[in-house]
Structure 1
Amino acid sequence: MNDTVALITGAARGIGLATATLLHGEGRRVVLLDRDRDALQTAAATLPGALAITCDVSVPQQVSQAVAEVEQTFGRLDILVNNAGVADFGPLEETDFTRWRRVMETNLDGVFLMSQACLSLLSQRGGAIVNIGSISGLRASTLRIAYGTSKAAVIHLTKQQAAELGELGIRANCVCPGPVDTKLALAVHSPEIRAAYHDAMPLNRYGTEREIAEAICFLASERASFITSQVLAADGGFDATGVGLPALRV
C-alpha cells in the first residue's frame, strides 16, 4: 500500500463500493463512509485494511467526527469522493418540502459539508475532490424536480470549488453518470423505461458500476494532475441525445 488516502462516501454499495475497490486495488488506503452500518461493515470486509466509518453526511457533527477519525488514523487525506446520494422521482405537485429537503440534505448539503470538513487535510499536500453528479443535473427531464436540481447544484459547486481551491493545490471535478445497472436502477426502471433508455443512447446499453468508478478514479489520480473544474458525463452518449423520454413521464 502507498501512503495516499482516499475517502469515499456512500461506499457501502454500488458506485461508491466499486470506486473504493478500484482505489484499493491501486494500492491506496481507503476510508469507507456510509450511514448503513451493516452494509458498510460487509463492504469493508472485502477490502483488507480499509477503515469503515458510519456517518450520515447530512449531519454536520457526524461529518466532523468522521473526518477527525481519518486524521487521527492516517494523518492525511489525498482524495475525497463525494458519492453519497439519494434518488427521488416524482412531479413538482407531489414533491412536498420534506421530500425536497430529504434529497437536498444528502445530495447537496453532504457534498458541501464533507468538502469543507476535509479541506485542511486535502490542502496539506494538494488533493483531489471528485463529486458525483448525474446526467439529470446536466439535462432537465420529467419527474426529477428535486433530484435533478440537487445534481445541477453539485455540478456548479464543483466549479466553485475548483475556482477557489486551485491555489491550495486542490483539484475538483465532477462525474455525471447516465443510466447505470445499480440495484436501485434495476428496482425502479421498468422494462419500458429500460428499452427507452437503450433506444436513446448511442451505446444502446446501461453502464456498469465499474465503468463509472474508472472515470472517478482517473480524475482522482495523478494522471489527471492538470484537470480541474471539469464535468465528465459517463453516460454512453446520453447527454448528446436528450432525456425527455415518453416512458419517463408515467
Structure 2
Amino acid sequence: MEANRFEGKVVIVTGGGSGIGAAAVHRFGREGATVIAAGRTEAKLTVTAADAPAGSTVVTRVVDVADESAITALVTETAETYGRLDVLVNNAGTATSGTVEETGTAAWRSILAVNLDGVFFASRTALPHLRRVGGSIVNVGSISGLGGDWGLAAYNAAKGGLVNLTNAMALDHGHEGVRVNAVHPGLTRTPMAVPLTENEDLIAAYRKRIPMRRPAEPAEVADVIVFLASSDARFVNGVHIPVDGGLTASNGQPRLF
C-alpha cells in the first residue's frame, strides 16, 4: 500500500491534460494531495479528472501558462482558496521542428513562451506561498535540454534555458526551504510524441540507442516527479534526473562491440 505522502497538501501541475502531466496528477492524487490540473484544453483536463484514482481530489483549470496574467491568477487563486501551496510542477511544453534558419519568429516566441516563460511566471508567483510551507518546484525538462538534437533549435534552446533556470532557483531559494529540481524525460509515449512512437523505423533506431530498448511510459516519469516533490527527497535540491532508460549514459559513440 502506498503512503499518503501528500495528505493535506496542495499541488499544481501544468500541462495536466495528457501524457506526463496527467500521470503526475493521478500519482499525486493517489497519495492524498488536492491536485490542480491546469492546461489549455478543457476536454483533455476533463478526461484527466475522470480517470483519476478513486478518492482523488482533482480540480481542473483552463489556463495558458504563456499568458502571464492568467497563470499568475491561477497560482494566486489556488493558494488563497486552499490556504496553501506545497508543490508546483512546471510540466507544460510544446515543440516544433526546425533549424535556426527554418524557424520563424512566431514559432520561436511560442516555444520559448510555453517552455520557459511559463515556468518563470508560475514559479515567481508560487515562491512566496511555497516558502511558507517549505514546498518545492519540479520542472519537467527534456534530454533535449541536456544535449542538442538535429532540427530542434528552438526546443533545445528553451529546454536548455530551463536547466539553468532550475539551477538558479535552487541556489537562490534553497536556504529559504524551497527545493527546486528537474526531471528530463527521453522518448516517452505521450500524445506529443505520437509521430515518433508510431513510426516503426524511428522506434527501431531508438531501440538501438536506449539501453532499456523502449520508450518510457508517462507514469514512469511521474513517479520521479512525485519523488522529487516528496519528503523522501527533502535534501535533494538543484538536481537533474534523466528519465531516459540510460540513453544519456552514452558518450555518443556508436556501439563498437
CA contact (8 A) 1:139 1:243 kept: no
Q: Which amino acid aligns with 2:191?
A: K
What 5-or-longer segments of structure 1 have no aligned partner?
Answer: 246-250
Q: Counterpart of 1:178?
A: 186
Q: Which runs of 4+ in 1 moved over 4 A?
A: 242-245
> 2:48 aligns to what?
43
What CA deviation, in whole Å up to 9, does each residue of 1:135-193 have, x standing for no partner? Answer: 01111120110011111110110000000011210000000000111122123452221
Q: Could you tell me how far apart the structure 2 residues matched to 1:141 and 1:103 are?
A: 15
| SS of match in other structure, 1:98 | helix
Local SS of the residue matching 2:132: coil
Residues in 1 aligned to 2:253 and 2:57: alpha-carbon distance in whole angstroms: 44
Q: Give 1:72 deviation, angstroms.
A: 2.7
Asked if 1:163 is matched to 2:171, the reply is yes
| C-alpha deviation, 1:104, in angstroms | 0.2
Flag the 1:200–1:208 CA change in 2: closer, same or farther, 3 A: same
Structure 2 residue ranges without an equivalent (≥5): none
Residue 45 of structure 1 deviates from its aligned partner by: 2.9
Aligned-residue offset at 1:243 = 6.7
Secondary structure in 2 matching 1:205: coil
Distance in 2 (CA, whole Å) between partners of 1:125 and 1:184 is: 34
TM-score, normalization by structure 1: 0.94
Amino acid at match of 2:228: L
Cα distance in structure 1, aligned partners of 2:139 and 2:29: 19
Q: How does 1:230-241 map onto structure 2 within 5 Å?
A: 230-241=239-250
Provide the rounded CA distance (Å) in 2 between the counterparts of 1:138 and 1:192: 24
CA gap 1:63/1:173 in 2 versus in 1, 3 angstroms: same
1:49 to partner: Cα distance = 2.6
Preserved contact between residue 33 and residue 57 of structure 2 (Cα < 8 Å): no
1:29 aligns with 2:34: yes
Matched, 1:134 2:142: yes
Counterpart in 1 of 2:116? 108
Instruction: State the Cα deviation string for residues 71-109 of structure 1 (Å, max 9, x = none).
Output: 232110111100000011222221011111110000000
User: Is the contact between residue 167 and residue 238 of structure 2 (CA under 8 Å) also seen in structure 1?
Assistant: yes
Task: Tell me whether 1:205 sits opposite 2:214 in the alignment.
Answer: yes
Q: For each residue in 1:202-249, what CA deviation from the matched residue of structure 2 results, as whole angstroms up to 9, or x when unmatched?
A: 11111110100011111010000000000000001111226799xxxx
TM-score by length of 2: 0.91
> Root-mean-square deviation (CA), in Å?
1.6
Q: Is the 8 A contact 1:179 1:235 kept in 2?
A: yes
Question: Is the Cα contact below 8 Å between 1:141 and 1:244 reproduced in 2?
Answer: no
**Percent sequence identity over aligned pairs:** 36
